Amino acid sequence: MGIYIFVSVLVLVACFLQILIVLVQNSKGGGLAANFTSAGQTMGIRKTADFLEKSTWTLAGAIVILCVVATATIPRGTEGSRSRIETQIQNAVDPNAIPTLPTAVPTPSATPGTDQQKTEN
């Protein structure tokens, strides 16, 4: 259970960083790169846009991989416990085992003495 929570937190952190990076970008080529027009900066305008694009794709891939890992580490419970559906299937009554009620009136018995006793009582 602990590793599942850890991976889930990593997925949330990666999603938060992805949101921030996408919000920093500008769809028309501006964004963060447009604010840094100084000639003495270490990363130029194009390098900033490249870095943001690469980090967007890297985080997207990391999110996909972390989601697959999180799915693999989902706690399955103990071996002795069953799902509710399996329990219902095991406890289901077989429709053939249900006693059927007679649909016809029983015929009189073959011995003549028993018919007279039944009518007298």
What phi and psi, each to the nearest 5 degrees, are found at residue 20? -65, -45
Position 9 scores a pLDDT of: 94
**120 is a domain residue:** no
Q: What rounded mean pLDDT belongs to the chain?
A: 75
Query: pLDDT tens, 81-109?
Result: 667 888 888 887 776 666 667 777 767 76
CA distance 42 to 91: 71
Position 117 scores a pLDDT of: 54
**78 is a domain residue:** no
Position 35 scores a pLDDT of: 56
**121 is a domain residue:** no
Reported pTM: 0.51
Of 8, 21, 3, 5, nearest in space to 59 by CA: 21
**99 is a domain residue:** no
Q: What angle do CA 111, 112, 115 make, to 5 degrees?
A: 100
69 and 7 Cβ atoms separated by less than 8 Å: yes
Residues near 116 by beta carbon (within 8 Å), at least 6 away in sequence: none
* Average pLDDT estimate for 20-28: 80
17 pLDDT above the threshold of 90 = yes
**86 is a domain residue:** no
| Residues of the domain holding 65 | 2-72
* Average pLDDT estimate for 34-40: 52
The rounded percent of the chain whose pLDDT value lies above 90 is 26
Highest mean pLDDT among 43-47, 54-58, 95-99: 54-58
Position 68 scores a pLDDT of: 94
The total of structural domains in the chain comes to 1
CA distance 75 to 6: 13
